[in-house]
A and B are shown apart, each in its own frame.
Chain A
Amino acid sequence: MIEHALWMLTLMALTAIVGFLILKNKPGRWWFVAIAELALICRFIFVFVIYANGTEYSGTDGLLYHQIAKDIAIQLQSGTPLWKVRYEYTWYTVLTGIQYAIFGVNRYAASFVNAFFSVLSGYFLTGTALNLGFSVKKSRLIGIVYLFIPSMIVWTTDTRKESMIFFLIILIWYMTLRVIRQRDWSISRQCLYILTICLLLWLSTLLRIYMLYTFGGGLFICLLFCFLKTKRNMIFVFLSAVLITCCIVSFTTVRHNMRDYHALTMDRSTEGDENLDEEIDSILNTIMSKNIPNSINGFLTKPHLEEVPFIPDIAGNPFAITVVRIEMILWYICMIVSVFGIMYALIKWDPYLLGLLAFIVSYGLINALISENVADTYYRYRAAIVAPLLLFADYRPFFAKIKDLLMTASPDAKSGDNSIML
């Protein structure tokens, strides 16, 4: 228990330090950091709840990853170099394995670290909102909503890779925004950021194989429009770096990991690279066998309210069922409100928001087409687009704009925005 307490206190201290660094000079940062600490404590409590029956028995994916991480820790401790470590499923297990090798096997600690990354995601999301020029109040609200979404607490607390995925998504978009907006940075600093983003693209591919293409598509749209708008050479360099990374990672990591990607429904009766075409055919067959509008409905709206009691993990738990139902209603409202936020982004023609939109659409489509048609799977996979979508969830600017357009005798579509100056 002392070990657990040490972990928790260390992570809480880190949370406070990182919070003050990210939200430096921002009003109300004390208050926000306190809320973030509360979110972290909620997650810590949840860790103890889910492992009440023992860390070697709880969960499915989380338990599997924990077991693999233990094996990786043994390999590392026996002198196997990191690049030769044998691992299954996902690179997340390697990360946890490294932690186990250094600090000892402790699933609680792995979960605490996940919770910490989840709270960091909340900070970066708030930072992104602030950098986008949202008001402090709105930015804080976005961060707080993200930190306290119940399903998000569940997904990011177990020893699953979700916490890391959400963190990478938010971090990559946060760093991209910084590179785009911070024109006064030195070239070396901008290059360092670009290289880090390329590295994170590769890491996210190791976590979920198709993330490369969702990120690639989103960043391509964002940087292309940004370059057309600003004609900045550094944006062109950034765009080229992203495209080159996508090509290299496609022909190396993606090709190599395609067969073992467990979330894809593949024919594993044969082995070897020569059967890659068959695997791609298998994916295409999966896509073709689906009713695509139904799948999109499933990805965006499942679990439907009447399906909630049938989710195996919460069946028979009225409190959890009610919480999930409330969350689903709020999610539907969020999606509807976001429609107007998306329209506003399109009117503004803001490259960053357009890129983010492309990322959301591509991620949604890929998951709708290849994920298994199961409510709780959709629920979990969809969580990755919650944070980006929250940045669109405001109908007021759009309606103010429409009102302005309708009420003004000589309206101008682009007044007040930051569209192309040339």
Chain B
Amino acid sequence: MKSRILKIASAAILPFILILMSLLPVSALLQYGYIISSYDVDVKILKDGTLDITEKVKYSHMGNSNNAVILIDKREDEEVEIINVYTLKKSEYIKCERLSAGQWDANVFTGTYSVVQENDLVRLKIYGSFTNQKATFIVQYKVKNAIKRYKDIAEYKRYHVFRNWEGYISNINIDVRLPKYTQEEDIKPYLHGVLVGQKNVSDRRRISYTIPSTVPGEYVEARIAFPQDMVSDAPVAEDIEYAPILVQEEKEYSESDKSDLLRARENAAKEAGRLAWNEKMKKRTTIFFVVVSLFASYLGVLTIIRTGRELRSGQENESLDLEDIARISPPEAGYLLKGRAGARAFLSGLLNLVYKGKLDIKISHIDGKDHLSFTLSEDAAKDVADHTEKLLLDCVSDFCEKNGSFCPGVFSPKKGASDPVRLAGYWKSWSDSIKHSIMSKNVLNHSQSYYRNLGLILGVILFAAGCIVPVAMSIWSGYLMLPVGMLLFWYSLSIQKRTQYRMTRVRALKKLRKLITGKDFDIGDMPGELSDPMLLLAFGIVLGVENKLLDNVISLNPGRGSQSFTDDDGSCEKTGTLVYKAIMAINDTLVSSME
């Protein structure tokens, strides 16, 4: 049965993890590279052939980068001078500072830019604090010697979008204004690099280009031929008739193979299709995992409820009164209360043996300090003790042989000391024995074991899914599985704390504690064996009320060995301290040894 559950669990967990791992990339942002939603270029051609350009670029996605890159065309003999860069912040344009080598005091994250001159372009990098990967920039710059003046015409020729610029741009508007008015038929605009785009001449000096969009692989090159006398202050580049050459070049371009541009569009369409499909799949996967997360959480809660019901229905009602408490040994009582046998249980076990007459107790003066000390009594017979008690007697016997008595209070967790290690060894065996003794009585039935194992496996799966699913899928509902999984796991893990066997005993022990801490407590009223001060003290230690017993009860009601607890003046105040000291010393020794 258990091996079957294990097989099912491993068969369920492994594919689950593999599926989740494969889903990790799905949660990625589906679009890469820059996306520009609007790109307006305003070019003024001056008489000396200089261009005065203002570009307004609106990024709808910054390509997961913390800076925007704007490429500026720079041809031979041209000089590019950046005048101003602005960034839009809170609906207001803020002027950016130029970051140059050695200028380290500028805050790079509040609107700065750097300029890198490359062979045929200028790379402008703008830094800032951008929200949701959106930003708008205005760049003003001048390009000197940009107009080529020939004998017959002048030529404006610039890349506004580079071929290797791996981004998407929509709504490109380029507006070029000539220095003077002229006949519209003397102005010849050309557009290269895109299959769809319009060019228009208006107002006898304005040339407008409108391109709906570009995709990676496309480019935008504007070329304008206009009368050379319009740039009369510009130097002549070459003293040749350039118009025929230009016409020939344009003819060649128009007749050239534009399959690369078609391919770029096809690729972009495919990419758009892939992105749309990814987006669709992401939505579906998200919905699927939201539903799965909620359902799995519901299933987890349901399992807790069902397990609880199984626990309640599967046990016969058992009652345990105060007089029955003595049937449990004090260390067992400690285990039932805390779920483990620690220092208090250990000391209570020793006192229980004093009560049974197998150990003697007294206050010894060691190294100038008082300590509780235990020795084997004359009538201690190991063969009549049960296994757990025998282990304690072995421990006391061992230390008595070496030191004359067993004084728990003298232990300290010093490195290299052998006594703490020996004590921890005895404690381990004794604690295991107590545990097995309790477990053999506090047994789960078949159905309870099934739900417990189911809860453990489901708890692990839910917890793991609660860690992985919400991160991988970016969904809130996934986090619900985390606490539900943890709760289910803990509930199943500590199921034996909720059995009828334990609950009845814990109830009785709590009743005893309440009785002891009550104002009218009298040991004489205690039923049966509990009226013995030593046994009661043993229970008092595991219940954490030993001081109350020592102060008010035991000194007035001497029983076997209890006279050892009273001082010369009959007070138990110091003894309470000694008991506490012994508990702490044992605890420190055990914790230290375990660590």
Chain A positions within 8 Å of B486 at CB level = 346
Extra contacts besides A406-B456, A407-B2 (18): CB < 8 Å: A57-B101, A64-B104, A232-B588, A262-B107, A262-B108, A289-B131, A289-B132, A296-B471, A304-B25, A304-B29, A332-B24, A373-B64, A374-B64, A377-B66, A402-B456, A407-B3, A410-B440, A421-B591
Which residue of B63, B110, B432, B587 is within 8 Å of A268 (Cβ)?
B110
Scan residues 87-126 of chain B and give those whose CB is less than 8 A from a CB of chain A. 101-102, 104-105, 107-110
Compute how far the CA of A301 lies from the CA of B27 in the bound complex, rounded to whole angstroms.
10
Compute how far the CA of A372 lies from the CA of B470 in the bound complex, rounded to whole angstroms.
20
A287 adjacent to chain B (CB < 8 Å): no
Q: Which bracket fits the contact residues of A?
A: 35 or more
Interface string of B302-345 (1 = CB under 8 A from A): 00000000000000000000000000000000000011101110
Say yes or no: A422 contacts B6, CB within 8 Å: no
Scan residues 544-595 of chain B and give those whose CB is less than 8 A from a CB of chain A. 583-584, 586-588, 590-592, 594-595
The interface-forming segment of B143-151, B185-193, B370-378, B461-469 is: B461-469
Chain B positions within 8 Å of A297 at CB level = 27, 471-474
Compute how far the CA of A422 lies from the CA of B93 in the bound complex, rounded to whole angstroms.
66
Which B residues fall within an 8 A CB radius of A?
2-3, 5-6, 17, 20-21, 24-25, 27-29, 32-33, 63-66, 101-102, 104-105, 107-110, 129-133, 338-340, 342-344, 413-415, 432, 435-436, 439-440, 442-443, 453, 456-457, 460, 463-464, 467-468, 470-476, 478, 486, 489, 493-494, 496, 583-584, 586-588, 590-592, 594-595
Interface string of A291-323 (1 = CB under 8 A from B): 111101100110011110010100000000000
Chain B positions within 8 Å of A292 at CB level = 476
Chain A positions within 8 Å of B2 at CB level = 406-407
What's the minimum C-beta distance from B582 to chain A, rounded to whole angstroms? 12
Compute how far the CA of A263 lies from the CA of B456 in the bound complex, rounded to whole angstroms.
43
Say yes or no: A340 contacts B464, CB within 8 Å: yes
Chain B positions within 8 Å of A231 at CB level = 584, 587
Which residue of A305, A372, A414 is within 8 Å of B25 (Cβ)?
A305
Which residue of A307, A375, A412 is within 8 Å of B435 (Cβ)?
A412
Chain A positions within 8 Å of B595 at CB level = 133, 181, 418
Which residue of B65, B456, B468, B470 is within 8 Å of A405 (Cβ)?
B456
Say yes or no: B65 contacts A374, CB within 8 Å: yes
Compute how far the CA of A296 lies from the CA of B471 in the bound complex, rounded to whole angstroms.
6
Chain B positions within 8 Å of A413 at CB level = 339, 493-494
Chain A positions within 8 Å of B587 at CB level = 230-231, 421-422
- The dominant DSSP class at the B interface is helix
What's the minimum C-beta distance from B350 to chain A, rounded to whole angstroms? 15
List the A residue with the shortest CB-CB distance to B125: A312
Which residue of A339, A374, A405, A410 is within 8 Å of B66 (Cβ)?
A374
Which residue of B102, B129, B470, B591 is within 8 Å of A418 (Cβ)?
B591
Say yes or no: B493 contacts A336, CB within 8 Å: no
A67 adjacent to chain B (CB < 8 Å): yes
| The 5 A-B residue pairs with the shortest CB-CB distance in the complex, in nearest-first order | A410-B439, A418-B594, A304-B28, A67-B104, A421-B342
Compute how far the CA of A263 lies from the CA of B108 in the bound complex, rounded to whole angstroms.
10
Which residue of A68, A377, A405, A421 is within 8 Å of B343 (Cβ)?
A421
A273 adjacent to chain B (CB < 8 Å): no
Say yes or no: B468 contacts A336, CB within 8 Å: yes
Chain A positions within 8 Å of B101 at CB level = 56-57
Compute how far the CA of A115 lies from the CA of B442 in the bound complex, rounded to whole angstroms.
58
Compute how far the CA of A406 lies from the CA of B5 in the bound complex, rounded to whole angstroms.
8
What's the minimum C-beta distance from A208 to chain B, rounded to whole angstroms? 15
Compute how far the CA of A232 lies from the CA of B456 in the bound complex, rounded to whole angstroms.
34
Chain B positions within 8 Å of A412 at CB level = 435, 439
A77 adjacent to chain B (CB < 8 Å): no
List the B residue with the shortest CB-CB distance to A285: B131
What's the minimum C-beta distance from A134 to chain B, rounded to whole angstroms? 13
What's the minimum C-beta distance from A393 to chain B, rounded to whole angstroms? 13
A80 adjacent to chain B (CB < 8 Å): no
A415 adjacent to chain B (CB < 8 Å): yes
Say yes or no: B25 contacts A306, CB within 8 Å: yes
Say yes or no: B342 contacts A347, CB within 8 Å: no
Compute how far the CA of A333 lies from the CA of B473 in the bound complex, rounded to whole angstroms.
16
21 A-B pairs with C-beta separation under 8 A: A60-B108, A88-B104, A265-B131, A293-B470, A293-B475, A293-B476, A296-B470, A296-B471, A306-B32, A307-B32, A310-B65, A332-B24, A343-B463, A346-B486, A373-B132, A409-B439, A410-B443, A412-B435, A415-B432, A417-B594, A422-B587
List the A residue with the shortest CB-CB distance to B439: A410
Say yes or no: A410 contacts B436, CB within 8 Å: yes
Which residue of B110, B475, B476, B591 is within 8 Å of A229 (Cβ)?
B591
List the B residue with the shortest CB-CB distance to A339: B467
Say yes or no: B66 contacts A372, CB within 8 Å: yes
Given contacts A374-B65, A421-B343, contact A291 B460 (CB under 8 A): no
Given contacts A181-B595, A307-B32, A332-B24, contact A406 B6 (CB under 8 A): yes
Chain B positions within 8 Å of A67 at CB level = 102, 104
Which residue of A307, A333, A343 is within 8 Å of B460 (Cβ)?
A343
Chain B positions within 8 Å of A60 at CB level = 108
Q: Among A60, A133, A292, find the residue whose CB has the most chain B CB atoms closer than 10 A.
A: A60
Q: Among A71, A333, A409, find the residue whose CB has the most chain B CB atoms closer than 10 A.
A: A409
Chain B positions within 8 Å of A56 at CB level = 101-102
Say yes or no: B472 contacts A301, CB within 8 Å: yes
Which A residues fall within an 8 A CB radius of B?
56-57, 60, 63-64, 67-68, 71, 88, 133, 181, 183-184, 229-232, 262-263, 265, 268, 289, 291-294, 296-297, 300-301, 304-307, 310, 312, 332-333, 336, 339-340, 342-343, 346-347, 372-375, 377, 402-403, 405-407, 409-410, 412-415, 417-422
Say yes or no: B339 contacts A414, CB within 8 Å: yes
Compute how far the CA of A407 lies from the CA of B110 in the bound complex, rounded to whole angstroms.
61
Which residue of B65, B66, B343, B474 is within 8 Å of A422 (Cβ)?
B343
Chain B positions within 8 Å of A181 at CB level = 595
Chain A positions within 8 Å of B64 at CB level = 307, 310, 373-375
Chain A positions within 8 Å of B472 at CB level = 297, 301
Given contacts A301-B24, A421-B342, contact A406 B453 (CB under 8 A): yes
What's the minimum C-beta distance from A290 to chain B, rounded to whole angstroms? 9
Say yes or no: B344 contacts A422, CB within 8 Å: yes
What's the minimum C-beta distance from B440 to chain A, rounded to whole angstroms? 7
Chain A positions within 8 Å of B129 at CB level = 265, 372
Compute how far the CA of A18 lies from the CA of B563 in the bound complex, rounded to whole angstroms.
59
What's the minimum C-beta distance from A92 to chain B, rounded to whole angstroms? 14
Chain B positions within 8 Å of A419 at CB level = 340
Compute how far the CA of A373 lies from the CA of B340 in the bound complex, rounded to whole angstroms.
48
List the B residue with the shortest CB-CB distance to A420: B342
Say yes or no: B456 contacts A373, CB within 8 Å: no
Chain A positions within 8 Å of B489 at CB level = 343
Compute how far the CA of A231 lies from the CA of B432 in the bound complex, rounded to whole angstroms.
24
Compute how far the CA of A229 lies from the CA of B340 in the bound complex, rounded to whole angstroms.
13
What's the minimum C-beta distance from A138 to chain B, rounded to whole angstroms? 17
Chain A positions within 8 Å of B443 at CB level = 409-410
What's the minimum C-beta distance from A396 to chain B, rounded to whole angstroms? 14
Compute how far the CA of A414 lies from the CA of B83 in the bound complex, rounded to whole angstroms.
71
List the A residue with the shortest CB-CB distance to B463: A343
Say yes or no: B470 contacts A339, CB within 8 Å: no
Compute how far the CA of A316 lies from the CA of B118 in the bound complex, rounded to whole angstroms.
17
Compute how far the CA of A377 lies from the CA of B456 in the bound complex, rounded to whole angstroms.
39
Compute how far the CA of A407 lies from the CA of B29 in the bound complex, rounded to whole angstroms.
44
What's the minimum C-beta distance from B356 to chain A, rounded to whole angstroms? 24
What's the minimum C-beta distance from A159 to chain B, rounded to whole angstroms? 12
Chain B positions within 8 Å of A71 at CB level = 104
Compute how far the CA of A63 lies from the CA of B108 in the bound complex, rounded to whole angstroms.
12
Say yes or no: B133 contacts A373, CB within 8 Å: yes
